[in-house]
Structure 1
Amino acid sequence: MELESFPLSVTGKIDKKALPEFEMRLNDEERSQDVTCPEILAVYCDILGRDDLTLADNFFRCGGDSIKAIRLLYELNDRTGTLLQLADLFEFPVIYDMQNHIAAVKK
């Protein structure tokens, strides 16, 4: 997504609330991986208390906060045998990206 200009607040800073919503669209190959990682998606659904999440969802935009982030990382580390850190969640907030990161770390 490209913007010609950023909406600014009266103080001259970027008005984040005025930015258009970003929607991630997965191609067929990415969508097919939905089936291969139900456990990772289930962890996100459990921690965020939602059952409508997809791999295109962003942890923080779906209600994630610092406490839920710690719980999420604990569960992901426990179930996947990885040692993810909080910085990983900030670098990969979209579930699909975190899934790929976990796969890369496990190799």
Structure 2
Amino acid sequence: MTAAEDNRYQNGYYEESSSELAVPQAFDRSDAGDSDEATEQNTAGTTFGLSALALSVLSLFIMPILFGAAGIVLGFVARRRGANTLGAWAIGVGAVSIIIGIFILPFF
């Protein structure tokens, strides 16, 4: 042991100075190279969401059971692919259309 090491042990502590000299690194993993895949999935989700919403709105006027069910299914697919708002609206409008088609429309 050298005299400096012996002095550190006698003082009761041993401090490592290399951690103080290192520059802290910030890691941002949000843009970690998969941006093209994420953009492609988001575009596919938006396409499914718009298709689902179009089917659900169309089901308010023509064949509510068939188009409403298709809009609900596509709405769930759109939500799974990242288009949460469009998918939720398609599910809601499709469900309202089916309810109107089953319970209210037969009375008219």
Report the TM range for the smaller structure's normalisation: under 0.3
More helix by share: 2
User: With structure 1 as the length reference, what TM-score do the two structures score?
Assistant: 0.24
